[in-house]
Amino acid sequence: MDESGTLLRSAHCSTPREPDPEAVYAALTKAVAQVAPDDAQALGVGSAGPMTVGGETVSPLNIPGWRGFALLARLQEDYALPTVVDGDAKALAVGEGWKGAGAGVGSFLAMVVSTGVGGGLVVDGRLLDGASGNAGHVGHVVVVPGGALCGCGSHGCLEAEISGTAIGRRIGGPASGAGPDEVERAGRLLGEGLASVANLLDLSRVLVGGSVALGFGAPFFAAANAALHDLSRLDFTGGCEVRPVGLGPEGPLVGAGGLAWRLLGHDVGVH
């Protein structure tokens, strides 16, 4: 990706299922070899979490082969480039703030509702890290006290109630088969959770991507906005709006590039 945020080349590969951390890393470096120019200046990574501060070790829930994997050190060792590793949802927030629907919006949440529910926060133009680098885990805002068991160990989190996995469990089939009532319920629960988040952080926009949210489309966003407006009654959050992301599925990738350019001192609109 160049410094203007134009994606020059991309490659996809599937994640090896074997538990060997080196097999996963080898697949990654093979994909990098397909796209990296000889004069690459930096590496930016958006990884699923959880991770330790600065992405020093990553333990993506859906990649069992990596538990405490020292991704940052390995990349620095193998590529000898300035490297930044951050969460994929935080990368999404940077991408949307740089080139997407968050451009020029000082305080917003960018999030995904897909297999899981995750997010990243930009407040006053700054990407929030939090004490351990994991700020923005909106998927674990509780919206149904005593509700469904969540992967985090709690109950009734957004992720346990409206993720693709959760909806699939509720309807006994893929989330894409959800009927209007289920779409309405998911949208309302999202808006209810977001009301607290918007009030807490004085947000002016929430950008939502991910296959479940975008697949449900307009009725889902309408229900989310209705619930948000029903429940956030303070003047300053009255204008907060839930909208689809601007970059589609490429947001986290654009954001990973933005994190790399930011590391080199370029202005990507998010500090």
List residues near Zn ion by CB under 5 A.
Answer: 140, 150, 152, 154, 157
Compare residues 44 and 60 and give the one whose CB is closer to Zn ion.
60
CA dihedral (49, 130, 262, 271) positive or negative: positive
The alpha-carbon radius of gyration of the chain (Å, integer) is: 18
CB atoms within 10 A of CB 267: 10
Cβ closest to Zn ion, residue 106 vs residue 147: 147
Question: Which SS3 state, helix, strand or coil, does residue 101 take?
Answer: coil
Question: Is the CB of 133 or the CB of 193 nearer to Zn ion?
Answer: 193
Least separation in angstroms between residue 158's CB and Zn ion is 8
The answer for 265, left when phi > 0, alpha when psi is -120 to 50, beta otherwise, is: left
Cα 225 to Cα 187: distance, rounded to the nearest angstrom: 8
Instruction: Spell out the residues 6+ positions from residue 151 whose beta carbon is closer than 8 angstroms to its own.
Output: 61, 116, 159, 160
Question: Looking at beta carbons only, is 87 or 258 nearer to Zn ion?
Answer: 87
Q: At what angle do helices 88-99 and 251-263 cross, to 10 degrees?
A: 80
Q: Which is nearer to Zn ion, 157 or 195 (CB)?
A: 157
Q: Are 44 and 263 in contact (CB under 8 A)?
A: yes
As measured in angstroms, the least distance from the Cβ of 147 to Zn ion is: 10
d(CA 184, CA 39): 49
211: Cα within 13 Å, side-chain hemisphere: 12
Question: Smallest gap, in angstroms, from Cβ of residue 154 to Zn ion?
Answer: 5
**Least CB distance to Zn ion at residue 218 (A):** 28
Nearer to Zn ion, 101 or 157 (CB): 157
Rounded Cα distance, 55 and 84, in Å: 8
**Shortest spacing between CB 145 and Zn ion, in angstroms:** 13
Q: Residue 107 or 134: which CB sits closer to Zn ion?
A: 134
Q: How far is the CB of 124 from Zn ion (least distance, A)?
A: 27
Reading the block at residue 41, the tokens are 């200046």
Task: Tell me the closest approach of the beta carbon of residue 161 to Zn ion, in angstroms.
Answer: 10
Shortest Cβ 213–Zn ion spacing (Å): 18
Interacting residues of 66 by C-beta distance below 8 A, sequence separation 6+: 21, 24, 58, 59, 60
Of 122 and 138, which has the nearer Cβ to Zn ion? 138
